[in-house]
Amino acid sequence: MIEPSTSSTNGLEEPATVIAGLVAEFRTPDALKAAATKVRDAGYRLWDAHSPFPIHGMERAMGIRPTILPWLVFCAGLTGAAAALLLQWWTNTIDYPFLVSGKPFFSLPANIPIIFELMVLLSAFAAFGGVLVLNLLPEYRHPAFSVKRFARVTSDGFFISIAASDPKFDLSATRALLESAGAVAVDVCYAPAEAPRLPGVLKWGLVVAALLALIPPLWIARQRQIPSDVPRLHIIQDMDFQPRYQAQGVGRFFADRRATRPPVPHSMAVGGRQLDAHFYQGQIDGQWATTFPIPVDRETMERGRERYNIYCAPCHGLAGEGDGMTHQRAVARREPGWVQPRSLHVSNVREQPVGRLFHTITHGLNTMSGYAAQIPVADRWAIVLYVRALQRSQNAVLDDVPTALRPALLQEPTKP
Amino acid sequence: MTSQPSVELAPQQITLEGISPRILAGLRIVGAAALVIGCALGVAWPDGIPLFFRAYLTSFCYVLGMVLGSLLLVLLLHVSRAGWGVVVRRLAEVLAGHVPLMVILFLPIVLPLLWGSSSLYEWADRHAVEHDELLRHKAPYLNPVFFTIRAAGYFLVWWLVARFFLETSAEQDSTGDPRLTNRMERASGPAILLLGLTVTFASFDWLMSLDARWTSTIYGVYYYSGAFVGAVALWILLAMGLQASGRLKEVITVEHYHDLGKLLFAAVVFWAYIAFSQYLLIWYANIPEETTWYRDRQTGAWLYVSLALVVGHLVLPFFGLLSREAKRNKAILGFWAAWLLVFHWIDVSWLAMPGLKREGSPWGPIDLCLTVSLVCFYLASVLRRAVERPLVPLRDPRLAESLAFENF
Amino acid sequence: MSSVAFPAFDNTSDDPTVRAPLTTPGQNFQTITETVCRVVERPRPPLGWYIAFAIAVAWTGVFFLLVVYLVSTGIGVWGNNVPVAWAFDIVNFVFWIGIGHAGTLISAILFLFRQKWRTSINRAAEAMTIFAVICAGLFPALHVGRVWVEYWLFPYPNQMGMWPNFRSPLVWDVVAVSTYGTVSLLFWYLGMIPDLATLRDRATGTVRKLLYGLFALGWRGSARQWHRYERAYLLLAALSTPLVLSVHSVVSTDFAVAQLPGWHVTLFPPYFVAGAIFSGFAMVVTLMVPARAFFGLKDLITIRHLENMNKFILATGCMVGYAYALEVFASWYSGNQYEWFAMVNRAVGPYAWCYWTMVFCNVVVPQLFWFKSWRTSPWRMVLVAVLVNVGMWMERFVIIVVSLSRDFLPSSWEIYKPTWVDLGMLAGSFGLFFTLFLLFCRYLPMVAMAEVKAVLPAAHGSGHRH
């Protein structure tokens, strides 16, 4: 890898190679620095000094201009910071906003750590990549390595190399310059006449391999996009298939092969002993009850009003006209197929026995669902009581008003 | 190592001799006049007494930060056996040794407290303490007597530390004994430890207890990191000022400024790191008893001060000092040092003032007068001390190394 | 060799008139190359290496077997419970990531502070950083349970239409630790390129020539390349310095942004960083004392290097002690009964022995380093360093487990007990760490040759070698 392909290490000229330049060795860092100053002053441009470690002051001796690397890193850092800010803002605020512990979607203080890390990451990539690119590394082969003693450049050797392509290069004059600068040895280094090439088989093999390597990701990408009847591949099962029975499914354990088990005979659910049919079903001897199983008093009425306003008024309206907020909204949005909730004041509702109303609240009717789960039994009766009061309020006659208040009612026909 | 350069320096280069006594007198007169005006304003202003005390505390802590920050600089130079900083160490020593002055300046804070005044600290109000469970809980720590005892302890430690390092350094000027350097190096470690502890608790006592219900363990580090920024900035400006007056011309080079600039840059970044740590943790946990402190600083004019701190104490100086060229350019470095001295004052004021209800502008003429006054007293003290001895530790064994110092 | 010629050499002198030499006398560029390359080039490593390697590999095997058991069974095999949902896994994570910090400190921060003595130890310390980060990263990765969807942690457009919650410290952690690992690797590799070139140029076998040649990238020590290389190295150091502070600060926010008593402490970020450096330096000392003896590196890694590291251990130990003291003070001063209970519970609760082990190892033991005899005696310093590592592991245990086990609601208190899997994985992670480190010692240059050469007196100056 390092040695030239032919055995030109002893400095013998080989037919397949050309002179690439001169390599001169110096004893000490100081001698190297002094010689570098001379070479620089002689006007060479395609030359270099080589040492096992960076020598303080060498840039000045050789006239190397400051590298642009810091600027690259600076720009990369700004890019990283901006990218991190954009990423966090867009993902957490625009594309997928969700609330966590009451923090604003766009929380600058919480975004700072990632902004900082990405700034450092991109800067580090720029510093590392930049130094390799600017130094033209990795390099497959360099002519200086054809000089055997040059191997000591990474241990304790100090060298100057001058390329043959330098306009001022002249084998004897340059050699004389290097020797006068204090070189302990000056060697000619060689390069192959032609630039080294990869064998054709290898090159095309790599191309084919690279193309083949593209197939699996492309196939996966396509499979993810197209619809398919076949279930997806479950490489990792996660919880896609769970060891449990579906409701009403087939089980293997019991002889009747039913997964869902019927209740054990004579067992009863907690709270299931609802013997009082009047209270629980609203029926007396199979007929709808017309009386209340709870005390009818002001307290129950207030309770009923409160519950009604919570559970019923959203649809039936505060006055029971069937014009609650859901209805108004549906009308405003012109919901197709919207059916207005029943007014509680139409005659067939008014005429229903209280047991029937209780049943409707418990089990629902038409599009109305049952409220047994939300409203306890006593509260349902309280609501029925309040509904009765509402119905009475909209269909009252003078006889309903206490005698003492009737004159006042008759004297005030209208309000201003 | 480089060969020994000559350590022979011309006397007029390295002393302040010949400085006009009028400067010293002028500083003292201005300081006294500003103090009188400040007092008068405090008495005349509506509700001016609490305002006066807060503003005085701000100025005091600002100047104290310079003293303690410079002291830390001296100790750090010793503990790290720094070669580069020997030429500027005496300047830090000159800035550091003013503990007696600080004791005198502390009297207006502690005497009213012992007298029974609660204009500054709510916990000194017996009535408030009786009716507040939290203050009652803290009373064994936060009470005027123990407060005074602790303050005396802090000042004693600072005085001993500063005295030891200044006297030993001065002794080396005359004897040239390299073992004195060893002695200072050995003492610097424990001294930093003592300094860290005392400054932490001093900042708890004097600044944090203004909001007696609020606690933050990082507070001491925050105050000291800010003070360090101020001290480095003042250090740079002092060096530049002396050079502008024709002194230390060949002693302090661009290489030293480069290092001072790096130190200033690092101090700014460290301050920001500490400030952000505290803010992030309190902002995120969102516990009402903690967020009140930031709410005071995010309402009214203080919101703009807080934002100004982010920009002026971090963003601008960060980019301003980032490049190598900026740190090696005296004009740019001097500008940012002065800039940061101003913003460090804003920072201290931001710590001390916001609990006070005040309409409109966060600052007024009282703040200005008291700061001018205390800074003038301090500078007078600095100059008086600077006259006493050479501006460079002439016989420090590492002086030659420092003179020849070069960045790479 | 020269190591034999100066057996009684002592460079721990404090004489301020001269700068103490960084290597033993008689070192020149050639001997440094020889000393470092010899370790890698000898046909067989010493017997001790084989024994250590066998033990380390065995424990690595245990670790990965336990990983298989854990992943296939579920993290119920750990002792974690409710409320102690974070236990050994996160303790080990914080412990290892802390260990890593010393490497970056030595290679980056001390570089910025021009501490030339760092050159002899930075390579090994950086390697240690990378191996510690690997060990650290494994634990939270396993802790999430379903390791096969680990990539969900990273932001990538997906069919679920979801993104990570970037406002969460746990996501900051992912980003910070992976950035830290990446940048440390780049820094380590960049620093190693010139030394790999040295090994390449000396290599005799084909495989070695090929591999070292491949990774040396054709480096030829050109001054123009050195110029950019030094600039890049400086930039990476300048970037790594705030990075290393940020990483453990971010780790500390995993706890400190929460409201749990004992976790919500504003001092946590700098305190965690100090603790990390503390434990990391202790680990460097633990590794370097035997390594310099076994591999004949005493000429380059001298007692002075170790003494300097011990001074750092002392300094950071004092910082950690400062934080402990402030925590206790603030828990009383805040008047918050839960905070105060958390402190009392640490000191006298069921895990009191952990707390006092921590205080003893982290605050009391390092005080021995005020004495020069302890700072300069290899085996004594190893004793202190090992105790510091024990103490720092305990510190994380105290912070995480003790705080979690007793929070606001006494009815949900629960004692945590590690299972054999917990203990095995802790030991196994050490096995993994030492396996990687031993491989590094065998195949890569343990000392940064180019950097040590650059700080030799002969490298700048008056010409005569040595």
* pLDDT at A10 (0 to 100): 47
What's the mean per-residue pLDDT of chain C? 91
Residues B75-115: tens digit of each pLDDT: 999 999 888 999 999 999 999 989 999 999 999 999 999 99
What share of chain B has pLDDT > 70, as a percent? 97
Number of independent structural domains in chain C: 1
- Kindly report the nearest CA distance between residue C361 and chain A, in angstroms: 32
Whether CATH 1.10.760.10 fits A277-393: yes
3-state class (DSSP) for residue C263: coil
Cβ-defined contact of C270 to B277 (cutoff 8 Å): yes
Question: At C277, which CATH number?
Answer: 1.20.1630.10
Contacts of C220 in chain A (CB under 8 A): 50, 139, 142, 144-145, 150, 153
What pLDDT band is residue A13 in, cutting at 50, 70 and 90? very low
- Please determine, for residue A152, whether its predicted confidence score (pLDDT) is greater than 70: yes
Q: Would residue C7 count as lying in a domain?
A: no
pLDDT at C330 over 70: yes
CB atoms within 10 A of CB C254: 22
| pLDDT value of residue C5 | 40
What are the extents of the domains in chain B?
11-399
Confidence of residue B401 (pLDDT cuts 50, 70, 90): confident
Asked whether the beta carbons of residue A102 and residue B408 sit closer than 8 angstroms, the reply is no
Chain C touched by A110 (CB under 8 Å):
yes
A57 interaction partners in chain C (CB closer than 8 Å): 460
For residue B24, which of B383, B386, B375, B385 has the smallest C-alpha distance?
B383
Ranking A122-126, A300-304, B352-356, C64-68 by mean pLDDT, the lowest is B352-356
Identify the closest residue of chain C to B259 by CA–CA distance. C113
Contact A131/C at CB under 8 A: yes
Please indicate if any CB of chain C lies within 8 Å of the CB of B322: no
Q: Does position C25 have pLDDT exceeding 90, yes or no?
A: no
Output DSSP code: residue C411: G
Q: How far is C55 from chain A (nearest CA, A)?
A: 34
Question: In b/e form, how buried is each residue of B156-181, taking b as 16+ CB within 10 angstroms?
Answer: ebbbebbeebbebbbebbeeeebebb
User: pLDDT digits over C253-289, tens only?
Assistant: 999 999 999 999 999 999 999 999 999 999 999 999 9
Write down the pLDDT at residue A395.
82
**Looking at A164-168, A307-311, A401-405, C362-366, which range is the least confident one?**
A401-405
**The pLDDT of residue B2 is above 70:** no
Size of interface A-C (CB pairs under 8 A): 223
Tokens of B319: 């980019």
Q: Say what the pLDDT of residue B348 is.
A: 96
Smallest Cβ–Cβ distance between B284 and the set A70, A74, A110 belongs to A110
- Nearest Cα of chain C lies from the Cα of B394 at a distance, in angstroms, of 14
B331-387 pLDDT per residue, tens: 999 999 999 999 999 999 999 999 886 677 888 889 999 999 999 999 999 998 888
- Cβ–Cβ contact C249 with B under 8 A: yes
Name the band, by pLDDT with cuts 50, 70 and 90, for residue B408. low
B9-43 pLDDT tens trace? 777 778 887 777 888 899 999 999 999 999 999 89
Segments forming the whole domain that contains residue C427: 27-459
Touching C (3+ Cβ pairs <8 A), the chains are A, B
Cα–Cα distance between C36 and C448 in angstroms, integer?
9
- B283 close to A (CB below 8 A): yes
Count the Cβ atoms, other than its own, within 10 Å of residue B6: 8
Searching chain A, which residue's CA lies closest to the CA of residue C229?
A131
d(C-alpha C382, C-alpha B76), whole Å: 27
pLDDT reading at C461 higher than 80: no
* pLDDT one-digit tens code per residue, C153-170: 899 988 788 999 999 999
pLDDT band at A4 (very low <50, low <70, confident <90, very high): very low
Residues in A touching C226 (Cβ below 8 Å): 51, 53-55, 58
Tens digits of per-residue pLDDT, C225-251?
Answer: 999 999 999 999 999 999 999 999 999
Q: What mean pLDDT value characterizes chain B?
A: 92
CATH 1.10.760.10 boundaries in chain A: 277-393
Residue B285: per-residue pLDDT: 93
Task: Decide: residue A182, CB within 10 A, 0-12 exposed, 13-18 middle, 19+ buried.
Answer: middle
CB contact under 8 A, A112 and B408: no
Residue window 61-100, chain A: list those with CB within 8 Å of chain B: 70, 74
ipTM of the complex: 0.94
Contacts of C249 in chain B (CB under 8 A): 273, 277
For the ranges B62-66, C38-42, C300-304, C462-466, the one whose mean pLDDT is highest:
B62-66
**pLDDT of the residue at A7:** 42
Q: What residue of C is the nearest CA neighbor of B287?
A: C259
Q: What is the DSSP string of C324-381?
A: HHHHHHHHHHT--HHHHHHHHHHHHSTTHHHHHHHHIIIIIGGGGGGSHHHHH-HHHH
Calculate mean pLDDT across residues A168-185. 92
| Interface size, chain B vs chain C, as Cβ–Cβ contacts under 8 Å | 93
Contacts of C108 (CB under 8 A, 6+ apart): C187, C236, C237, C238, C240, C241, C244
Decide if A32 contacts A51 (C-beta within 8 A): yes
The answer to whether residue A11 scores a pLDDT higher than 60 is no
**What is d(CA B216, CA B228) in angstroms, rounded to the nearest whole number?**
20
Q: Which chains touch A (3 or more CB pairs under 8 A)?
A: B, C
Q: Is A109–B284 a contact, with Cβ atoms under 8 angstroms apart?
A: yes
Chain mean pLDDT for chain A: 87
At C84 the pLDDT is 94
In chain C, residues with a C-beta closer than 8 Å to the C-beta of A142 are: 218, 220
Of C133, C221, C200, C156, nearest to C433 by C-alpha is C133
For residue B375 the two structure tokens come to 């800074």
Band the pLDDT of A223: cuts 50, 70, 90: confident
**Res C456: pLDDT:** 87
pLDDT score, position A196: 66
CB A45 within 8 A of CB A67: no
